[in-house]
Structure 1
Amino acid sequence: MFQKTTMAAAITIATSVLLVACGDSNGNNNGAVVGGGTTPTTTLLGSEQKPALSAANFNASLGASASGKLILSVAGQPKCDVSISHIEYSTIGGAGEATTASGALMVPTGSDPSCTGKRPVVLYAHGTTTSKGFNMAALTTDPTNAAAGESTLVAATFAAQGYIVVAPNYAGYDTSTLAYHPYVNYKQQSQEMIDALKAGRAALPKDAAGTTTTDSGKLFVTGYSEGGYVAMAALKAMDAAHIPVTAGAPMSGPYSLEAYGDAIFYGNTPIGGTVFAPLLTTSYQKAYGNIYNITSDAYTSAYAANIDTLLPTTLSQNVLFTTGKLPQLALFQSVAGSSGGQVDPITGADLSTSQFSFGFDPSSYLINTSYRAAYLKDAAANPDGAVPALTASPLPATAPQHPLRKAFALNDLRGYVPSMPVLMCGGNQDPTVFFAPNAQLMAGILGNIAGAGAPVAFALLDVDTTSKAPVGFSSAGLNTSVTTNMKAVAQQAQTGFGTILGATKDAAIEAAKVDPKVVAAANAAGQAAYVKVLTAGGSQADAAAAAKAAGTAVVTAAATSAATAAVASSYHGSLVPPFCTSAARAFFQQY
């Protein structure tokens, strides 16, 4: 069974801070869609100018918060003012139906030479969100919008440094007329990226002669988490459509979707899994019509009602959890084992020693055990080439039979060989989008292709060197200058990530030490140890020493647990993105 990198067995986490994601067998998506439909001609339906963001004000606002200071440290001080427009355009839904979507157009302006003239375009895909109102163009109008953190990072890293940014909100969000989101649907999301790009270019400012003057013709494609998958999907679709792309940088995406899905169903539960499961099944049910007959085929009775219309939503994730619409962490059922502890009813794994125990619960869990069992029966009969065991052909299963595995295989991006230089970036301890069966596996496949003499140019960057098995930086097909420069970029990103990771742990440890509950537990343990020693005839000095040791042990355990939880809850959504996004820009600067 695939095992994710080190994480503590028990995690208490608020998943509301996550940007989560997932990720055509052998690169093809030829599945029939419900309702058919054809791709309409892309139309820019509207463009509304929003308040601009001056470089000076942007710099000041970033410097006013810890997260902003981190962005400044990795992205640099803003050079350009940023003009922001909210654009709306026509696109398709997951079943091929005509619909609309919206996005942000960010255009650098100002007197700095890097802010004027013809500028390169960055097409950016965002991470998973449950928020119906998600809007990358709300940067200067709604600081409470769910997109605020990601749009700030993108504006600071790209737009304020001289790149035009086109960032779709995706069908199903903001002003889109689609009632659901076509989550990790290769055919729809790659087409929408092309549609958004056309609309963004059409909305660019015009000179007096009516000609677009701000687009240099260079195009870079990137995205994070779900957006990492969408970026890779867009690169593949643009290759197929012969749309020139200068370079790409998918980040922390689930490119090997069947391998990732199989790993999860084998029991390697991800943080955020209960959020993207309904997004995923609704997306594929709309596209293919066969993921279930009724929702209770896949979901337990506590959650099955209306789960197919639950997301996206106007409710916060906290409300989704506290009102019982979704369980916070538990995807699967656990049962009592012969020794009294909880075990996985399908694999028999002892959950008391598993780092994935947070994803199991004896009563409040999301996925029906019968549905999971049927999935795993197919996984055993028609195994993926990488999970549960890496084989000489690490591609999706050739003939999966379970409808969800069929959908995963259909939308899996393994087998795609980019024609443009590509950087994949992530962190090897990511508890949400696992690094090994996604970025690392994809890079391994491309490495084998490059080793066979194919003209492939790519790099893999693991920003996390703090684990027992860091992956580091590797590349193939890049010229000497680019390789040298990116090695230096990688080292800088790894150093910075290590520093912020350490600071996150330290802050959690210090907070735990003064937590009233921890202090009370430490005092109680100390008192009990003191009495025990005296009762046994020990001296007061021995009793005091025992009390101190017992109290210290309680505080140490609580601090360790708090540090683990702090890192796990912020790793994918907060810690990795600034460093990978900055590395993506550095990669683009090579071209």
Structure 2
Amino acid sequence: MKFWTGLALASAAAMLAACGGGSDPGGSTDIDLSGARGSLMYNPPLQVTAMGAADFTARLQGGGTSGQTLLALAGAPKCDVSFRYFEYGTVGGAGEATNASGALMVPSGTAAGCSGPHPIVLYAHGTTTDRGYNIADITNPARPGASEGTLLAAMFAAQGFIVVAPNYAGYDVSRLSYHPYLNADQQSKDMIDALTAARKALPATGGQDNGKLFITGYSQGGHVAMATHRALQALGQRVTASAPMSGPYAMGAFGDAIYYGNVDLGATVFAPMLATSYQKAYGNIYTQPSDLFEAAYAPGIDTLLPSYTPIGELFAQGKLPQTQLFSNVAPAPGFESITPPTQPPELAPLFALGFGSSNLIRNSARLAYLMDAQAHPDGAVPAATTGMPATAPGNPMRQAFVKNDLRGWMPQSPVLLCGGDADPTVFYNVNTGLMAQLWSSLVSAHLVTVLDVDSAPSGADDPFAAAKAGFAQAKAATAAQGGANAVVQAYHGGLVPPFCTAAARGFFQQVLASAH
């Protein structure tokens, strides 16, 4: 389920392996094993590799179609980049002390914007089922995270931004046995702790922070980025701007939409990760997993993801169904029309994939959820009223969704919301579109900007015309090669991310320019 599958940069990452790596020669290392939040476990952090701008450019050019595509989208690297790996103290979903790791990318060089203090991009990655995920390990294309690390380096670090990209608690070397998936409180703390630790590391790496902080992330990372902006604002810490991309911001509305039958692509992976995350945090999602999951899948599902076993193998082993979230038998009379839904007609085939006889979620659990949704409706789903989350849900899963719903706060610094309106995985209208409606006054005031990359340029002065045109070309090429189904499969994970990321960088650069 890792995104950017359509822009797989394995060949480019393989070329980067020639750059070398290893720890810094000489000097001493400071150790902090206190486990305190934001503690930097060793300083200076491990240097994975370093490369000059010209070398990076040559390697992208020699990295095949994927590397050349990234080079065209990101532009030629102008800065040298040092890639670091660091470990830090943070907390789990129940507040338990734990550790996590991340990538720190530091630009340098003689070109404009490469020397002196730099702005920081704090980056949140999207859903991955791979327990070994590590964005810092860009030199080994066989390792999860290499492609994303390469993209971040090209898009941000090589253009003069310091990049801080946590792997999150529950991944890589983290001793946490689960991942606090879409837990807004924990994940914002994780991001803040990674930022705190990375700032401690900067003096030893030759990096300087100029005080400008940008936050971005895609999919799960879009939710994490927005939650982090909200948390830092509440702490009185200034965020220069943020760019959440294709995130499930309105968790209560999105969850209700899915249980009402609008099953998204990837739901059978997201459901167990959410259930485990919220069970660990709140303790009331179920008494035992079989309360929520069918007997065929319940044994061991609470420890299944993330995993060192590839998701395809887990499907093949029968640990999870590929698409069938719900039973194709209505949970009770009166729910036949949403088992599965047939409206709107263009989405009926997608929704139908989520139903069958090998379903993951028990009908009794779906019925309990739906009964609560009818008694305590969300303000946006199934009908638009207040637009806000349900005020008094009784179902534990709905309570968890509302607790992690990001509606109800107002940013005080610029925000770009980016996505594609035909997203089959994180529905645009009930997430990005809904936040845009709730923030309509901020959109009018030009504090919030909304970009649908799957739309036509608004005119000659559209600042995102290039992103929209590039997306349209990529979408058409995908359709020509594999048809409409290929577009659906690639939309969320491959087509939208690179263009939203390029738009985010342009937005950040515009904010920086306007401050001068």
Q: TM-score, normalised by structure 2?
A: 0.87
Contact 2:78 2:114 in 1 (8 A): yes
1:585 aligns with 2:505: yes
Partners of 1:328 and 1:18 in 2: how far apart?
20
Partners of 1:18 and 1:59 in 2: how far apart?
20
Partners of 1:137 and 1:48 in 2: how far apart?
10
Partners of 1:344 and 1:75 in 2: how far apart?
48
How many residues are matched?
A: 474
1:565 aligns with 2:481: no
What is residue 250 of structure 2 aligned with on the other side?
256
1:414 aligns with 2:412: no
Partners of 1:52 and 1:232 in 2: how far apart?
31
Letter in 2 for 1:86: Y
- In the TM superposition, residue 569 of structure 1 has moved relative to its aligned partner by 1.1
SS at match of 2:131: coil
In 2 relative to 1, CA 330–344 (structure 1 residues): closer, same or farther, beyond 3 Å? Answer: farther
Contact 1:344 1:351 in 2 (8 A): no
Contact 2:379 2:387 in 1 (8 A): yes
SS at match of 1:171: coil
Letter in 2 for 1:136: I
What is residue 364 of structure 2 aligned with on the other side?
370
Contact 1:418 1:456 in 2 (8 A): no
1:203 aligns with 2:201: yes
Contact 2:262 2:351 in 1 (8 A): no
1:235 aligns with 2:235: no
SS at match of 1:221: strand
Letter in 1 for 2:489: S
- In the TM superposition, residue 53 of structure 1 has moved relative to its aligned partner by 3.0
Structure (1 or 2) with the larger CA radius of gyration: 1
What is residue 177 of structure 2 aligned with on the other side?
179
Partners of 1:319 and 1:56 in 2: how far apart?
40
Taking the TM superposition and a 5 Å limit, the aligned residue runs for 1:85-124 are: 85-124=84-123
What is residue 459 of structure 1 aligned with on the other side?
449
SS at match of 2:202: coil
Partners of 1:301 and 1:349 in 2: how far apart?
22
- In the TM superposition, residue 409 of structure 1 has moved relative to its aligned partner by 0.4
Equivalent residue for 1:507, pick from 478, 481, 494: 481
Taking the TM superposition and a 5 Å limit, the aligned residue runs for 1:481-492 are: 488-492=462-466
What is residue 395 of structure 2 aligned with on the other side?
402
- In the TM superposition, residue 17 of structure 1 has moved relative to its aligned partner by 5.9
Deviations 1:380-404 (A, max 9, x none): 110000011111x100000000000
What is residue 52 of structure 1 aligned with on the other side?
50
Letter in 1 for 2:47: Q
Partners of 1:76 and 1:456 in 2: how far apart?
27
Equivalent residue for 2:144, pick from 143, 146, 151: 146
- In the TM superposition, residue 178 of structure 1 has moved relative to its aligned partner by 0.4
Structure 1 spans left out of the alignment, 5+ residues: 1-14, 20-38, 337-342, 467-471, 474-483, 509-562
What is residue 77 of structure 1 aligned with on the other side?
76
1:333 aligns with 2:324: no
Partners of 2:509 and 2:442 in 1: how far apart?
26
Letter in 2 for 1:257: M
What is residue 166 of structure 1 aligned with on the other side?
164
Partners of 1:334 and 1:360 in 2: how far apart?
9
Contact 1:446 1:456 in 2 (8 A): no
Contact 1:270 1:432 in 2 (8 A): yes
Letter in 2 for 1:282: T
- In the TM superposition, residue 284 of structure 1 has moved relative to its aligned partner by 0.2
Partners of 1:276 and 1:349 in 2: how far apart?
19
Partners of 2:485 and 2:175 in 1: how far apart?
38
What is residue 429 of structure 1 aligned with on the other side?
422
Letter in 2 for 1:42: G
Contact 2:263 2:325 in 1 (8 A): yes
- In the TM superposition, residue 144 of structure 1 has moved relative to its aligned partner by 1.5
Partners of 1:48 and 1:350 in 2: how far apart?
52
In 2 relative to 1, CA 450–461 (structure 1 residues): closer, same or farther, beyond 3 Å? Answer: closer
Deviations 1:8-58 (A, max 9, x none): xxxxxxx57678xxxxxxxxxxxxxxxxxxx94421012211111332332
52-61 or 571-580, which deviates more: 52-61
In 2 relative to 1, CA 257–93 (structure 1 residues): closer, same or farther, beyond 3 Å? Answer: same
Partners of 2:353 and 2:165 in 1: how far apart?
33
Deviations 1:448-498 (A, max 9, x none): 4666xxx771100000027xxxxx77xxxxxxxxxx99x633111101100
What is residue 384 of structure 1 aligned with on the other side?
378
1:347 aligns with 2:341: no
In 2 relative to 1, CA 450–157 (structure 1 residues): closer, same or farther, beyond 3 Å? Answer: closer
Partners of 1:571 and 1:213 in 2: how far apart?
36
Partners of 2:131 and 2:196 in 1: how far apart?
24
SS at match of 2:171: coil
Deviations 1:62-114 (A, max 9, x none): 33332322222221111112101110000000000000000000001222122
Deviations 1:302-361 (A, max 9, x none): 11000000011000111011111111111111149xxxxxx9757354669623344334
In 2 relative to 1, CA 121–360 (structure 1 residues): closer, same or farther, beyond 3 Å? Answer: closer
Partners of 1:349 and 1:331 in 2: how far apart?
11
Partners of 2:272 and 2:339 in 1: how far apart?
26
Letter in 2 for 1:445: L
SS at match of 1:82: strand
1:189 aligns with 2:187: yes
Instruction: Calculate percent identity across the aligned residue pairs.
Output: 53
Deviations 1:150-190 (A, max 9, x none): 22221111001110000000000001110000011111011
Letter in 1 for 2:108: T
Contact 2:268 2:323 in 1 (8 A): yes
1:247 aligns with 2:247: no
Partners of 1:16 and 1:168 in 2: how far apart?
15
Partners of 2:369 and 2:390 in 1: how far apart?
13
- In the TM superposition, residue 264 of structure 1 has moved relative to its aligned partner by 0.6
Contact 2:321 2:358 in 1 (8 A): yes
Contact 2:340 2:351 in 1 (8 A): no
Letter in 2 for 1:159: A
SS at match of 1:113: coil
Partners of 1:17 and 1:438 in 2: how far apart?
18
Deviations 1:399-452 (A, max 9, x none): 00000000000110001101111001000001111110001110110114666x
Q: TM-score, normalised by structure 1?
A: 0.77
What is residue 135 of structure 2 aligned with on the other side?
136
In 2 relative to 1, CA 290–448 (structure 1 residues): closer, same or farther, beyond 3 Å? Answer: same
In 2 relative to 1, CA 54–365 (structure 1 residues): closer, same or farther, beyond 3 Å? Answer: farther
SS at match of 2:88: strand
- In the TM superposition, residue 260 of structure 1 has moved relative to its aligned partner by 0.5
CA RMSD of aligned residues (A): 2.3
Contact 1:18 1:569 in 2 (8 A): no
What is residue 65 of structure 1 aligned with on the other side?
64
